[in-house]
A and B are shown apart, each in its own frame.
Chain A
């Protein structure tokens, strides 16, 4: 499958291991990535807070660049990009006159956005297009005994109408389905669909880190070994800021937070080092018993990462 691949900013900035691990798993899943390296930031809701037209036009430009490729669809690896871009797309697709105004701005650059692009997060693509049975058949090292808590990120689960979530496409359950398909044990906990707090970390750090700490604490209380997220911004608050969250919530969390492609990569047989797992603030070695679980074999001889 060929996709116009939008990596987003943070996967190439403060969480480079995300972009890197995506590049590693793509060939194993026969996904050909046509990287949209000319596109600009989705705005993460903040540019739309400033000017909707500006956010819509910048994203329409990225969509137009994707439509110029021969990819089957556009794919992203960031919940926030998914949500922010879908919001812009909803306005662009809803109103022909508005779309014409945006396209007039784009025309100076020789670009046009045509209504109705398909833009999916890796998670949606894996479940809906690649297929879980196909994925299951490619698992080399099932995540046996690994207790994984899903953490979605708000932008990929709400609002349901806009994101096309219903009983036919229960996209708010896909992480559980995926963890199961990879052979892991799903740990459902109170905070899995809640907010990591990242958007207000510069405005109200205490409330922000309380959110992160509380959800990680819930996952810990449910005996998760780690959590997995399709959102690099959630990763920043849950992993990079975890020491701060521990301080504010007054409890030791020590909860590894994996990016979605890293979890997939482990099951596909890639080594933790290749997947950049050593780059996290909370190293997964602290709780994952690599020697007894089937993810193991990795750990025993190769602890040097």
Chain B
């Protein structure tokens, strides 16, 4: 047994009083969970502490909280581990972010999380006619969506989404992962419509900033951001959905510019993202409007010699022979019939003969997935879309 001090964030919106911190010292073995610590504090010292929980085994998703500032499940975090992350020897527990507090550590999941989940039509839309017997699908395609199916709806990713923090309308990581679960399912009849809906939404898949917060937050290795990138790949590459948010144009312009220059030509990327992926993109009215809006910044950058006009016009290139090599790589890979994608969650890591690296926890979970056959790239990628 060992003593641990918990500092709990207390708040009762109905009381009219401000939130405050409350400390309790509990007595438990170090491998027991933070949730057990909170429950002991509740039983021994203060029955009014608000915490939601059920299974205590990291499967029901009820006890999402922030521990020392990091989102996660209280039942899935050992006390000794939590203590290591504590700034001053006290384990700090707060309610999750981006959602209103109902009481103490309990947040209103309905107001944010579930609303967004409902927004992505979270059920299978059957193709007609529905087969009379089992619906047989290629095994690989189901393996591909296992990662997003692992979600337990705890809301940890929503709690710390940095896009949602400034844009509460953003569909967010959990709902996007849920959307991929159906977009990747060959039985679904409306994959294109789903993608178009999420690409065209001004707060849809293109609002994700690649901040990786949701990947670290998820206790189940769902990696919502990776699912968002898959949605973008399908929307932009497979279905060529030219969305109003410049998402497809930006990606397409970036890929083209690296092929043409080897390095990023920033002054070309911006207008092309607005006006379209060609040299003429900058003459499109949308590019013109953006140029006008950015004129003060551009003028200042030129005045400060941050950017020279010549440099902005010509960009920078790698040597000719190397550019040819880069273009050979492009030709070979873009010429493949199927896109090659390696999902480490599914394939796991090679047995490490040298013992140099230990695989991260998320991969270890995935390695044991039924149907996972390590070492077969190309067997589990998202192939061409079904339509």
Give A contacts to B, CB under 8 Å. Answer: 9-10, 12-17, 37-41, 43-54, 57-58, 61, 83, 90-91, 93-98, 101, 105-106, 108-109, 116, 154-155, 158-162, 167, 194-195, 197-200, 202-204, 206-208, 210-211, 214, 240-241, 243-244, 278-281
Complex: A284 Cα to B277 Cα, angstroms: 37
Indicate whether A200 sits within 8 Å of B163 (C-beta atoms), given known contacts A12-B316, A14-B306, A94-B349: yes
* Closest 8 pairs between A and B when the two form their complex, measured CB to CB: A161-B360, A158-B212, A9-B264, A195-B211, A98-B377, A202-B273, A210-B166, A207-B167
Residues of A contacting B13 in the complex (Cβ-Cβ under 8 angstroms): none
Residue of A nearest to B319 (CB): A38
The segment from B21-29, B60-68, B175-183, B293-301 that touches chain A is: B293-301
Residues facing A in B278-300 (CB within 8 A) are 294, 296-297, 300
Q: How far is the CB of B239 from chain A (nearest CB, A)?
A: 13
Residues of A contacting B254 in the complex (Cβ-Cβ under 8 angstroms): 43-44, 46-47, 50
Tell whether, in the assembled complex, residue A278 and residue B166 are in contact, meaning their CB atoms are under 8 Å apart. no
Complex: A225 Cα to B95 Cα, angstroms: 32
Q: How far is the CB of B66 from chain A (nearest CB, A)?
A: 13
Complex: A6 Cα to B187 Cα, angstroms: 45
Tell whether, in the assembled complex, residue A159 and residue B202 are in contact, meaning their CB atoms are under 8 Å apart. no
Complex: A203 Cα to B203 Cα, angstroms: 10
The segment from B33-41, B107-115, B245-253 that touches chain A is: B245-253
Residue of B nearest to A210 (CB): B166
B372 interface contact, C-beta 8 A: no
> Which of A10, A158, A208 has the most chain B CB atoms inside 10 A of its CB?
A158
Tell whether, in the assembled complex, residue A203 and residue B233 are in contact, meaning their CB atoms are under 8 Å apart. no
Number of A-B residue pairs at CB separation under 8 A: 229
Given contacts A40-B326, A57-B329, A204-B203, 6 further A-B contacts (CB under 8 A): A38-B319, A43-B258, A51-B255, A101-B378, A154-B212, A195-B211
Complex: A109 Cα to B325 Cα, angstroms: 6
Instruction: Select which of A41, A162, A195 is within 8 A of B258 by beta carbon.
Output: A41
Residue of B nearest to A204 (CB): B207
Q: How far is the CB of A183 from chain B (nearest CB, A)?
A: 24
Tell whether, in the assembled complex, residue A200 and residue B326 are in contact, meaning their CB atoms are under 8 Å apart. no
Q: Decide if the interface of chain A is mainly helix, strand, loop or mixed.
A: helix
Give B contacts to A, CB under 8 Å. Answer: 84, 162-163, 165-167, 170, 202-203, 206-213, 215-216, 229, 232-233, 236-237, 245-247, 250-252, 254-255, 258, 262-266, 270, 273-274, 294, 296-297, 300-301, 304-307, 311, 315-316, 318-319, 322, 325-326, 328-330, 332-334, 336, 339-342, 344, 347-350, 356-357, 359-363, 374-378
Instruction: Select which of A46, A54, A96, A109 is within 8 A of B250 by beta carbon.
Output: A46
Indicate whether A158 sits within 8 Å of B213 (C-beta atoms), given known contacts A49-B251, A54-B333, A58-B326: yes
Residue of A nearest to B208 (CB): A200
Complex: A14 Cα to B203 Cα, angstroms: 29
Residues of A contacting B329 in the complex (Cβ-Cβ under 8 angstroms): 54, 57-58, 61, 105-106
Tell whether, in the assembled complex, residue B342 and residue A98 are in contact, meaning their CB atoms are under 8 Å apart. yes
Tell whether, in the assembled complex, residue A202 and residue B274 are in contact, meaning their CB atoms are under 8 Å apart. yes
Q: How far is the CB of A244 from chain B (nearest CB, A)?
A: 7
Indicate whether A40 sits within 8 Å of B206 (C-beta atoms), given known contacts A54-B333, A61-B325, A240-B297: no
Tell whether, in the assembled complex, residue A91 and residue B263 are in contact, meaning their CB atoms are under 8 Å apart. no
Residue of A nearest to B81 (CB): A167
Complex: A208 Cα to B71 Cα, angstroms: 23
Residues of B contacting A49 in the complex (Cβ-Cβ under 8 angstroms): 229, 232-233, 236, 251
Tell whether, in the assembled complex, residue A13 and residue B350 are in contact, meaning their CB atoms are under 8 Å apart. no
Complex: A47 Cα to B203 Cα, angstroms: 22
Complex: A97 Cα to B340 Cα, angstroms: 12
Complex: A52 Cα to B343 Cα, angstroms: 10
Residues of A contacting B265 in the complex (Cβ-Cβ under 8 angstroms): 13
Tell whether, in the assembled complex, residue A37 and residue B206 are in contact, meaning their CB atoms are under 8 Å apart. no
List 28 A-B pairs, Cβ < 8 Å.
A13-B315, A14-B307, A17-B306, A40-B262, A40-B322, A51-B233, A52-B341, A54-B334, A58-B329, A93-B357, A94-B348, A95-B347, A96-B375, A97-B375, A105-B333, A154-B213, A158-B215, A159-B215, A194-B165, A195-B213, A199-B209, A204-B206, A204-B245, A206-B167, A210-B166, A243-B300, A278-B304, A279-B304
Residues of B contacting A207 in the complex (Cβ-Cβ under 8 angstroms): 163, 166-167, 170, 207
Complex: A207 Cα to B170 Cα, angstroms: 10
Residues of A contacting B376 in the complex (Cβ-Cβ under 8 angstroms): 97
Complex: A14 Cα to B311 Cα, angstroms: 9
Indicate whether A90 sits within 8 Å of B344 (C-beta atoms), given known contacts A12-B263, A95-B375, A280-B304: yes
Tell whether, in the assembled complex, residue B333 and residue A51 are in contact, meaning their CB atoms are under 8 Å apart. yes
Residues of A contacting B374 in the complex (Cβ-Cβ under 8 angstroms): 95
Residues of B contacting A13 in the complex (Cβ-Cβ under 8 angstroms): 263-266, 307, 311, 315-316
Complex: A203 Cα to B333 Cα, angstroms: 27
> Which of A16, A96, A97, A167 has the most chain B CB atoms inside 10 A of its CB?
A97
Residue of A nearest to B273 (CB): A202
Tell whether, in the assembled complex, residue B350 and residue A96 are in contact, meaning their CB atoms are under 8 Å apart. yes
Complex: A207 Cα to B206 Cα, angstroms: 11
Residue of A nearest to B330 (CB): A54
Q: How far is the CB of B326 from chain A (nearest CB, A)?
A: 5
Tell whether, in the assembled complex, residue B216 and residue A243 are in contact, meaning their CB atoms are under 8 Å apart. no
Complex: A51 Cα to B342 Cα, angstroms: 11
Instruction: Select which of A50, A106, A161 is within 8 A of B255 by beta carbon.
Output: A50
Complex: A203 Cα to B163 Cα, angstroms: 12
Complex: A16 Cα to B308 Cα, angstroms: 10
Q: How far is the CB of A192 from chain B (nearest CB, A)?
A: 12
